Amino acid sequence: MFRALAHPARRAILRRLSEQEQNLSELAAPLKMSFPAASKHVRVLERARLVRRRVSGRTHFCRLNAAPLKEVAEWTDRYRRFWEENFERLDSLLEEMKGKDAGRSQERVRNQA
């Protein structure tokens, strides 16, 4: 899934499909991509269950299957929050450390006096 999303061309394909169902040629042209290249990217997206392909005669229609993205969106949001939550806890820890540090310096001053 993440490998499927990692390529900018595949993200572009998903964005275009989020507007409407398109056939492979319609997908390839604005992305300045050859037909086989577009087909290859679509295959990767199909394997990740993100795109469904429907064949009508010689035309391959692609449409977005957004359900798995919901999972990813939730997961990635959690992932980004990983650092934010870590650093917020670090903020609090540093406040505590500063307090103890100030206490120690005062003690040093008293001991020197």
Partner 1 sequence: MSNAGTLNVTTPNDTQIVITREFNAPRRLVWEAHTKPEFLRRWLFGPPGWEMTQCDEDLRVGGKFRWAWSGPGDTGMSMHGVYREVTPPTEGGGGGRIVRTEVFESGCGPIGAEQLAMVEFIEKGGRTLLKITVTYPTKEARDGMLASGMDQGMAAGYARLDELLAGM
Q: Which stretch binds partner 1 (CB under 8 A): 35-43, 54-62, 94-102, 103-111?
A: 94-102
Residue 88 binds to partner 1 (criterion: CB under 8 A): yes
Judged by CB under 8 A, which of 30, 75, 103, 104 binds partner 1?
75
Q: Distance between CA atoms of 8 and 12, rounded to whole angstroms? A: 6
3-state secondary structure of 54: strand
**Nearer to partner 1 by C-beta: 77 or 112?**
77
Quick check: 85 binds partner 1 (CB under 8 A)? yes
In the complex, minimum distance from the CB of residue 100 to partner 1, in angstroms, rounded to a whole number: 10
Alpha carbons 32 and 8: distance in angstroms, whole number: 13
Determine which residue in the list 34, 101, 104, 107 makes contact with partner 1, applying CB under 8 A.
101
Looking at residue 7, what DSSP letter applies?
S
Q: Which residues contact 53 (CB under 8 A, 6 or more apart)?
A: 42, 46, 60, 61, 62
The stretch near partner 1 (CB under 8 A) out of 4-12, 22-30, 53-61, 102-110 is: 4-12
CB atoms within 10 A of CB 69: 18
